[in-house]
Amino acid sequence: MEITVEGKPGQVVAFALAARVIQIGCALQELLERGYGRESFPLARSMLTGMIHMIVIVDGETDGRARTFILDAWDYRERLLDRALSYEFLTAEAVAAEKKRLTVTRASLVAQFDEHGVQASRLGKSPRTWHGLNTEADLFKKMRMPHIYDLDYAWLSNETHVNIGAIELELQEAFEGKTGFGPKGHLPPEVLLASSHAIPEVLAQLSNLLGLNRHDEAVEMQRTFRDELRGASV
């Protein structure tokens, strides 16, 4: 399915974030259908990251925050290229070519912001993140969604960081002398819960941003998701 959008640059960036969240949701479905439930945790968490970044942009000063989001990503990409060159992972020619491509793309996007007289905008002053807050927890709290962080994001972090919580099953298998590999058929409610929050939310944000008057449909989708999950857990 293909969707196109025309509008101010900030709208396009927000739309792209929504599209990415939905695309990740498609990948999650593939993993779950193939029996890779726990392995889908990092992707599920990335859906929530994309969702909250979109909310930040849509919440206010949309074009200014979108400009900051873009420029920060381009600056970070250039730093990664410099590191790759220092370790001789990429050649100087390859780095130069990629930087040239990035420069052209960035200039085109920035020109759109300049055309609208848009200045960069951030929520805070921390240099650690594009939005200016110190942590993702701070960001969810600022966007009035601490419950999403506590119920979804934080629970998915064990698998993302591969700490002791992530290897519980592997430890059990190792102690029993029957370590196995491949799909293990687990359907984790944490992933389903994250999806039930992220996808309806980005659709609701799109409706608000583009004036589609379909916010209630997205809310109803989220309610249906939640009720189905509760019913399955009984």
At residue 32, φ and ψ (nearest 5 deg) are: -65, -40
Handedness of CA 5, 10, 13, 15 (dihedral sign): negative
Relative orientation angle of helices 189-210 and 215-233, to the nearest 10 degrees: 170
| pTM recorded for the entire structure | 0.87
pLDDT at 25: 94
Q: What are the 10-residue block averages of pLDDT along the chain, 234 residues in total?
A: 58 91 94 92 95 94 91 89 95 95 84 84 93 95 94 89 88 89 85 91 90 85 78 56
Q: How far does CA 93 lie from the centroid of its chain?
A: 32
CB 98 within 8 A of CB 70: no
Contact between residue 208 and residue 59 where contact means Cβ atoms under 8 Å apart: no
Q: Do you know the residue count of the chain?
A: 234
Which 3 state secondary structure label does DSSP give 21? helix
Which residue type occupies 126?
S
77, 83 contact by CB (below 8 A) = no
How far is the C-alpha of 130 from the C-alpha of 96, rounded, in Å?
A: 25
pLDDT for res 105: 83
